[in-house]
Structure 1
Amino acid sequence: MATREAVENCISRCENAIHSAREQYMEGIREENYGYYDFSAPLKELEDAYNELCKLAISANSQQRERLHRMRLQIQQLQNQIILQEHEPIM
């Protein structure tokens, strides 16, 4: 069973990853007119957080799994936004 502290630490790291990735995403959108912006670093950070969530969810109880699942959905949503932005043609 996952400890409360482990879940809280994981959630905190994921929130930090989301915040950082969101800032880089917004910077990339602002710089879009100047050329291609590389989103690989924020995507890697989000993927690492996602993988950590998945590992922790295996040993979590149902209430912890629900919190981790909600965080995982936030990560996936931001990943999708970044990927779609990355592949939009620049006009």
Structure 2
Amino acid sequence: MATRQSVENHLEICVAALEFAEEQYKHGAQQEHYNDTEYTKAQMLLENAVNDLNKLSLSADEQQREELYRMRLQLQDRQNDMILLKH
């Protein structure tokens, strides 16, 4: 079973990835192709966070799974935005 601390740690990592991705998304929309390395790094951080959440949810209780699911939706929403951005 996932501990409360491990869930909190993963959620903090996810929030950091979301913040970094948001920043890179804004820069990508403004600067077009000048920041591809950081943009790609943000996409990889989001993907890794989603994968980690999926693994963690296997050992989480129902309440934790719901919290992880909501975070995963946010991460995937940002992933979709970044994929669709013509930067």
Do both share a fold (TM > 0.5)? yes
Q: Which residue of 2 aligns with 1:16?
A: 16
- Flag the structure with higher helix content: 2
Q: CA RMSD in A?
A: 1.3
Runs of 4+ in 1 over 6 A off after TM superposition: none
The residue correspondences of 1:1-91 to structure 2 (distance < 5 A) are 1-32=1-32, 35=33, 37-38=35-36, 39-85=39-85, 88=86
Q: Give distance in 2, aligned partners of 1:74 and 1:23.
A: 15
Contiguous gaps of at least 5 residues in structure 2:
none
Q: Tell me which structure has the larger Cα radius of gyration.
A: 1
Identity of matched residues, %: 48
Alignment length, in residue pairs? 85
**What's the TM-score, normalizing by structure 1?**
0.87
Contiguous gaps of at least 5 residues in structure 1:
none
Q: Give distance in 2, aligned partners of 1:64 and 1:15.
A: 16
Q: Give distance in 1, aligned partners of 2:23 and 2:71.
A: 18
**What's the TM-score, normalizing by structure 2?**
0.91
